[in-house]
Structure formats: structure tokens, C-alpha cells
């Protein structure tokens, strides 16, 4: 009986760690580093469990890159006022992100977004950030 209980406890611990790792941004992104990108929206994917923005912006060397930015779920974004027509392909934006642990991936976790044309922003109000 003790053996079964020990195995059950170990299985619960392992499955809990797996779930934590999946939802831990620190496992994929550098939480202690922030990068600012100035570019244009190339693609918008509002979906569950994570939404994504694709941004065309220069990298540190000045070469134009397509950056993939992980965002909140479409349900969470909808509650925060982000709808399917809020952002458009071609919108010029300035974003901050936590970059990937693998620099050559050109991806990150979106922290803030500012649209240049009208000042629309996301990520500066309580509850909007993804950390």
C-alpha cells in the first residue's frame, strides 16, 4: 500500500512539474532581459491557448527580420479590449518583449505594444502583461 501511495505521489509531482514548465515563460524566454522593436505588423493570430503577432523589424545588426511574439489567449485579450479588428496588418508599432533564450529564433514574449498612428497601447495597465 505504501508503495502505491509513493508511486501516486511521484506521478502527481511529475505531472505538476510538466504543467508548470509548459506555462513558465522563464523556460523559453529571458525574463530578465527586455528588447524594444520598432516595426510593422505582418501577421496576427488571435487564438487559444496563446495568440501571436508577427512583426517585421530590424535585429541588432540592422537586418530586417520577422519576429514571432507570443501573447495572451484570444479570450484574455478580448476581455482587455483586443478584438480581431483592433490591430491591422501594416500597423506601425513599437513593442517591448522578453527575447527567446535562443537568439537566432527571433521570437519573444510580448510585454507592451504601442501603435504609432493613434497611440493605442497594450501592456501598461494592471492585468495586461503576460508574466
This prediction has a pTM of 0.77
In a domain? residue 8: no
In a domain? residue 75: yes
Question: Which pLDDT score is estimated for 129?
Answer: 67
Question: Which pLDDT score is estimated for 7?
Answer: 55
In a domain? residue 7: no
In a domain? residue 118: yes
In a domain? residue 80: yes
CA-to-CA separations, 102 to 28, 89, 108, 112, in angstroms, rounded: 8, 27, 10, 21
Q: Which domain holds residue 46?
A: 30-122
Average pLDDT value for residue range 69-86: 93
How far apart (Å, rounded) are the C-alpha atoms in residues 120 and 126? 16
Report how many domains make up the chain.
1
Question: Which pLDDT score is estimated for 17?
Answer: 43
Look at the alpha carbons of 5, 8, 13, 14 in this order and tell me if their dihedral is positive or negative: positive
pLDDT tens profile 15-41: 444 444 445 677 899 999 999 999 999
Question: Which pLDDT score is estimated for 103?
Answer: 82
Q: Domain of 78: which CATH number?
A: 2.40.50.140
In a domain? residue 19: no
Amino acid at each position: 500500500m505504501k508503495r502505491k501511495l509513493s508511486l501516486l505521489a511521484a506521478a502527481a509531482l511529475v505531472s505538476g512539474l510538466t504543467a508548470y514548465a509548459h506555462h513558465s515563460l522563464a523556460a523559453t524566454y529571458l525574463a530578465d532581459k527586455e528588447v524594444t522593436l520598432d516595426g510593422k505588423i505582418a501577421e496576427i493570430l488571435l487564438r487559444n491557448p496563446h495568440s501571436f503577432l508577427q512583426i517585421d523589424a530590424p535585429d541588432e545588426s540592422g537586418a530586417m527580420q520577422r519576429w514571432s511574439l507570443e501573447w495572451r489567449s484570444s479570450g484574455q485579450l478580448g476581455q482587455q479590449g483586443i478584438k480581431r479588428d483592433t490591430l491591422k496588418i501594416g500597423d506601425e508599432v513599437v513593442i517591448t518583449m522578453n527575447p527567446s533564450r535562443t537568439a537566432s529564433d527571433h521570437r519573444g514574449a510580448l510585454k507592451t505594444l504601442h501603435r504609432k498612428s493613434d497611440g493605442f497601447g497594450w501592456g501598461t495597465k494592471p492585468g495586461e502583461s503576460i508574466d
